[in-house]
Amino acid sequence: MTMLPETTTRKLGLVIDLDTCVGCHACVISCKGWNTENYGAPLSDQDPYGANPSGTFLNRVHSYEVQPEVGAAQLVHFPKSCLHCEDAPCVTVCPTGASYKRAEDGIVLVNESDCIGCGLCAWACPYGAREMDAAEGVMKKCTLCVDRIYNENLPEIDRVPACVRTCPAGARHFGDFNDPESHVSQLTAERGGMDLMPEQGTNPVNKYLPPRPKDEIDQIDILAPFLEPVVQEPKGFLGWLDKALEKI
């Protein structure tokens, strides 16, 4: 049923640290790998070795340049996947009941055998978190690796989403936002975790930690001002050229 649950017992989600992310795209690859080989329809590619490759991804990393009023521009790598919103607009628009939000842990999932591939949920999502698979004709989205996090066949260390497990920089964190003592709740509180597009009213579970302010560097080398420039005026041919051009 595509009515949203009033509350969820747990509120599982991710914290993504924009200060730490190095933009290596390892999370993109591990996500594609795990979710192609496991739960649901594989994430297909079209023309993968041809002139115009494209494919289904549940996680994509953008890069943005941010130019402050004063100081140097910053480059921010920006991984984006489903934010498992509390007021998920993608769920309520679904005509078949294929899309649902789980009452026990808040994960937003698609029952692929009920999906008619109308695409309306992708229209309703402001984040571009849902992609229709061109080969299967069903909607694909991040499952928060529901087939890993409860999977007792895996060693305990691996029972986190594939993107979190693989991140070499430690920029992705997984946990329960309903528990104020959890790692993700504390990180969000300490670092001012933010919502994306809060004005859309989706109430996303996933939080983004903003980049920390950059250090101020006044002078690179305190001895530099005491050094005389080696050449003050050009000599020889360059000197003649300089004077000649001045006269014109």
Partner 1 sequence: MHPSPSVIIFTTCSGLGFGLLAWLGFGLPDVTGWVAFAFFAVAYLLAVGGLLASTFHLGHPERAMKAFSQWRSSWLSREGVAAVAALLVMGAYAGLLIFFDIRIMVLGWIGAVLSVLTVYATSMIYAQLKTVPRWNSILTPALLLAISISGGALLAGQITEAQVLLPIAAIIQLIWWTRGDLALMQSGTDMATATGLGKIGRVRAFEPPHTGTNYLLRELVYQVGRKHAIKLRVIAFVLGYALPVLLILLPFGHALAALAVLSHLAGIATSRWLFFAEAEHVVGLYYGKR
Identify which of residues 57 and 177 has a Cβ nearer to partner 1 in the complex: 57
Contact letters for partner 1, residues 206-235 (x by CB under 8 A): --x-xx------------------------
Contact 184, 205 (CB under 8 A): no
Nearer to partner 1, 75 or 241 (CB): 75
Window 38-67: residues binding partner 1 (CB under 8 A) = 52-57, 60-67
Are the C-beta atoms of residues 192 and 210 closer than 8 Å to each other? Answer: yes
Instruction: Report yes or no: 76 and 66 within 8 Å, Cβ to Cβ.
Output: yes
Q: Which residue among 86, 105, 131, 176 contacts partner 1 (CB under 8 A)?
A: 131
Residues that contact partner 1, how many (by CB under 8 A): 68
Cα gap 149→102, rounded to integer Å: 15
List Cβ neighbours of 55 (8 Å cut-off, separation of 6 or more): 32, 43, 44, 45, 46, 48
Which residue among 20, 26, 29, 127 contacts partner 1 (CB under 8 A)? 127
Region 82-101 residues binding partner 1, contact defined as CB under 8 A: 89, 91-98
Buried/exposed code over 173-186 (b: 16+ C-beta within 10 A; e: otherwise): bbbbbbeeebebbb
**What is the three-class DSSP state of 120?**
helix
The answer to whether residues 172 and 79 touch, using CB atoms and an 8 Å cutoff, is yes
Query: Is 123 a binder of partner 1 (CB under 8 A)?
Result: yes
Nearer to partner 1, 197 or 238 (CB): 197
| Residues lying near partner 1 in the complex (CB under 8 A) | 1-3, 18, 28, 52-57, 60-69, 73-76, 78, 80, 89, 91-98, 114-120, 122-128, 131-132, 134, 136-139, 194-201, 208, 210-211
